[in-house]
Structure 1
Amino acid sequence: MNKTRFWVVGGEYTSCDCDTLISGTERVVGPFESRTDAEQTWRSLSEDHRPQAQVRFTIAHEPSMGA
């Protein structure tokens, strides 16, 4: 049985609309085995970049690939 894995993804965007990432600023952190672990990293990254309005991170997940 495969489990769902979680990733923290984001970076700096060209505007506060968060439509287009600035090349070279992309970050992908993970995988995490639980959403709780991913949330801890997401909170830390978000807090570290709090003064930068155009930097955003989110949690993504891979659907489990059941047989």
Structure 2
Amino acid sequence: MQKSRFWVVGGEYTSCDCESLVQGTERVVGPFESRAEAESTWRLLSEDHRPQAQVRFTIAQEPPAILSA
């Protein structure tokens, strides 16, 4: 059985288009063994930065193949 891991990634973007991160603001948190754990952290980070319109975080799932290589 292959397991996936989850990461919370994001930071401050140069505009509300969320295409380019401001250098030095990148954040990668994880890995998490379950999506629920990642969602909990994502909610905390998102709430902490709510007043900052250009700060965004998302959950990334690591492909299972990486873990079995």
Q: TM-score of the superposition, structure 1-length normalised?
A: 0.94
Match of 2:10 in 1: 10
Instruction: Measure the CA separation in 1 of the matches of 2:63 and 2:21.
Output: 24
Match of 1:50 in 2: 50
Match of 1:60 in 2: 60
Instruction: Measure the CA separation in 2 of the matches of 1:29 and 1:62.
Output: 13
Structure 2: unaligned runs, 5 residues or longer: none
Q: What RMSD over aligned residues (CA atoms) do the two structures have, in Å?
A: 1.3
How much has 1:2 moved relative to structure 2? Answer: 3.7
Structure number with the higher helix fraction is 2
Which residue identity is paired with 1:6?
F
- For this pair of structures, how many residues does the alignment match? 67
Percent identity between the aligned chains?
79
Moved over 2 A (4+): none
